[in-house]
């Protein structure tokens, strides 16, 4: 056997060995025909489904770091209810939000606040500058509703990335093509990261995938990080929306929140 033949034989052996050991790089997955196709493959709950969960929530900001166990109820597209679960005694914080109003009740202080369901008003209590619809979607591990902007998609590593651009603003969504779950959402304004939300530990309930952990990082208007760990999660389809509209307790005069989110 000539020297050239020996070298060729070794090269062939190395290629075969690489195939057997799985060292040949994976073929890059190609995205579907359009970004709408990518997002359209994400399973969504029914409009009457109410998502109920108990969560440990840790908030870090310039004011310090604190943790609280909370009960959450969600209904797509923009219904939310939050109440604390203290170690002892009754809940000391209630919040409801729907397409029209946000209402907040502090039983210990005897204070009840009501205002329009805007991102400014919601920021006062949740420290996240997003409209209720976006917050509800993110808490469910789902892409926020697209109202305007141009869409594009690309492959980034093993994920699909969908970009929604409107002027200088860009929202990017990363989707796992193996099961079409949302893994990350990032908002940019003029190249600067405004917020980033990461989803981990998905679990399937009623054929819809939900994250067990959600990490929210907000840079503007102030720096805040929120770590949400779901302890349990349940879906009901009773369709009752009364829980998303807190009623003013007797003997208490509600305080109106103005459009700038102040009292």
Q: What is the pLDDT of residues 161-197, one digit of tens each?
A: 999 999 899 999 999 999 999 999 999 998 899 899 9
Give the Å distances, CA to CA, from 248 to 122, 217, 254, 256: 18, 33, 7, 12
What is residue 244's DSSP assignment? G
Three-class SS state of 232: strand
**What was the pLDDT predicted at 145?**
79
The pLDDT of residue 146: 76
Q: Is 217 exposed, middle or buried (0-12, 13-18, 19+ CB in 10 A)?
A: middle
Determine the pLDDT at residue 89.
83
Q: How is domain 35-256 classified at the CATH fold level?
A: outer membrane lipoprotein receptor (LolB), chain A (2.50.20)
pTM, entire model: 0.82
Given a cut of 70, the residues of the chain with pLDDT beneath it are: 1-33, 147, 238-239, 258-263
Q: Where are the domains of the chain?
A: 35-256
Q: What is the DSSP letter of 243?
A: G
């Amino acid at each position: 056997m000539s020297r050239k033949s020996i070298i060729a034989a070794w090269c062939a052996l190395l290629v075969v060995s690489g195939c057997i050991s799985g060292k040949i790089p994976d073929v890059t997955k190609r995205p579907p025909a359009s970004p709408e196709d990518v997002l359209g493959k994400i399973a969504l709950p029914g409009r009457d489904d109410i998502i109920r969960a108990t969560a440990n929530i840790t908030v870090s900001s310039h004011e310090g770091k604190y943790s609280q166990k909370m009960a959450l109820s969600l209904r797509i597209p923009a219904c939310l209810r939050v109440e604390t679960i203290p170690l002892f005694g009754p809940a000391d914080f209630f919040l409801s939000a729907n397409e029209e109003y946000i209402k907040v009740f502090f039983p210990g202080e005897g204070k009840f606040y009501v205002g329009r369901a805007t991102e400014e008003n919601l920021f006062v209590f949740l420290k996240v500058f997003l409209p209720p619809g976006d917050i509800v979607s993110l808490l469910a591990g789902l892409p926020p509703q697209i109202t305007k902007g141009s869409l594009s998609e690309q492959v980034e590593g093993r994920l699909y990335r969908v970009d929604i651009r409107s002027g200088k603003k860009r929202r990017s969504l990363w989707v796992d093509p193996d099961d079409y779950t949302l893994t990350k959402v990032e908002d940019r304004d003029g190249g600067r990261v405004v917020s980033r939300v990461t989803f981990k530990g998905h679990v399937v309930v009623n054929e819809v995938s939900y994250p067990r952990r959600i990490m929210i990082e907000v840079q503007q208007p102030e720096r805040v990080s929120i770590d949400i760990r779901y302890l349990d999660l349940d879906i009901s389809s009773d369709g009752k929306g009364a829980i998303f509209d807190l009623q003013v307790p007797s003997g208490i005069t509600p305080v109106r929140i103005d459009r700038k989110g102040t009292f």
